[in-house]
Amino acid sequence: MTIRIGLNGVGRIGRNLWRIIHTSVPDVDVVVANDTADLDTVAHLLRYDSIRGPFPGEVRAGRGAIRVDDTTVALTHLPRPDQLDWRSYDVDLAIEATGQFTRGDSARGHLIAGAPLVVISTASPDADVSLMMGLNEHDFDPGQHRVVSNSCCTTYCMATMLSPLHQAYGVGKASASIAYSHGSRPGPLLDGVHHNLRMARANATNLVPANVPGVRHALDRVLPELAGQVAATAIRVPVTAVSAATLTLRLQAPANADDINHTLTQASLSILKDYLAVSHAPLVSTDLLGSTASCVVDAELTTVLDDLVRVVGWYDNEWGYAHRLIDLARFLTCQTGG
């Protein structure tokens, strides 16, 4: 069975998702897309990517559609989800990837437009449910949950480390410091105007402190047993892709660095296989470009000081996250009989 996806928003996440589906996911098709940008611009940005390189196929703009090799995908330019005609394209689910309709009520416009399910490609405080593959996907209730948040890439990285460590040793409190690549959410090249005065500064030449409110409520929904126990802050750094999350945890049971790395390795080979990985190589950020895992633990950086533990996880923000969107789409359509 081929899963038919309607894609709203052909930005960073949408283009990565489309590229992955076209090149390596034969059981999923993008059958229709919507973006407020004009067709030629969408086609050009799909064809040429400053991080991923040229699209591995021929991309052409046609009349009201984009042709990728031998596949024609209709492209509309409507401003609101409820205006889209998902019903005519018989989509199995809509992926909301604009970054604008992240609240449950606005995302429900996709249901009005005929999509049986909606997946929001970021954290949402009031989606019907927030799911992360490998952690809580079995919380999904087909009878109640039609607007689903796939959480966010940073939450995925943190949670895939937190969950196995909490199960093994108990996590009392934790604090996360995230070095976040500025290319994942483009900011100004020069100082400009922004309501957040730090974010108004040139992203390519500064370390910019940034709030991560989505991580807090996303973690609370996915790991409710740790609700309110994890704080996070981010520094946007001048690299185009790949971020790192440093977790400092207070454990409730003793463990040394080898124990910690062994626990995370075992999780990466079992319940979190394909989502979590562990590396013992001396990595830098570019080494993780193209990683499909949501978190690659840097085992060489794991340290223990009494009951304080530090673990570091790398993640290719958009690429790993786009793979989780595909994993979630497969899971949801299987659960709903699509």
Query: Domain residue spans in the chain?
Result: 3-121, 153-316
Q: Are 3 and 338 in contact (CB under 8 A)?
A: yes
Q: What does the alpha-carbon distance between residue 85 and residue 81 come to, in Å, rounded to a whole number?
A: 9
pLDDT band at 289 (very low <50, low <70, confident <90, very high): very high
Overall CATH class of domain 153-316 = alpha beta
Q: Round to whole Å and give the CA distance between 131 and 144.
A: 14
What are the distances in angstroms from CA 316 to CA 8, 21, 149, 273, 328?
22, 17, 19, 17, 18
Q: What average pLDDT does range 154-170 have in this prediction?
A: 97
Residue 104: both structure tokens together: 């449950």
- Collapse the DSSP code of 37 into the 3-class scheme (helix H, G, I; strand E, B; otherwise coil) and give the result: coil
* Cα–Cα distance for residue pair 53/333, rounded to 1 Å: 31
Say what the pLDDT of residue 215 is: 81
pLDDT tens digits for range 238-284: 998 999 999 999 999 999 999 999 999 999 999 999 999 999 999 99
Spatial distance between the Cα atoms of 204 and 294, rounded to a whole number of angstroms: 25
pLDDT surpasses 80 at 189: no
Query: Position of tokens 């589906």?
Result: 21
CA distance 249 to 177: 12
DSSP H helical segments within the chain, as ranges?
Answer: 12-24, 39-47, 86-89, 104-107, 109-112, 153-169, 213-222, 257-268, 317-336
**Residues placed in the known binding site for NAD(+):** 12-13, 35, 121, 317
Binding site membership: which residues?
12-13, 35, 121, 317
- How is residue 249 written in tokens? 């945890």
- 201-249, pLDDT tens digit by residue? 888 888 988 877 678 778 999 999 999 999 999 999 999 899 999 999 9
Give me the torsion for CA of 316, 318, 319, 325, rounded to 10°: 130
Which position among 153, 157, 295, 334 bears the catalytic label?
A: 153
Residue type, 234: A
Query: Measured between alpha carbons, how far is 29 from 311 in angstroms, rounded to an integer?
Result: 37
153 as an active site residue: the answer is yes
Backbone angles phi, psi at 302, to 5 degrees: -70, 125
| Dihedral sign from CA coordinates of 279, 283, 285, 288 | negative
- Give the pLDDT score at 185: 64
The answer for residues whose C-beta is within 8 angstroms of residue 338's C-beta and 6 or more apart is 1, 3, 92, 93, 116, 117, 332
3-121 belongs to CATH 3.40.50.1820:
no
Q: Which of 158, 161, 157, 201 is nearest to 182 (CA)?
A: 201
Question: For residue range 43-72, what is the model confidence (pLDDT) as tens digits?
Answer: 999 999 999 999 999 999 999 999 999 999
Q: What is the pTM of this model?
A: 0.95
With CA atoms as reference, report the closest residue to 271 among 155, 150, 137, 130.
Answer: 137
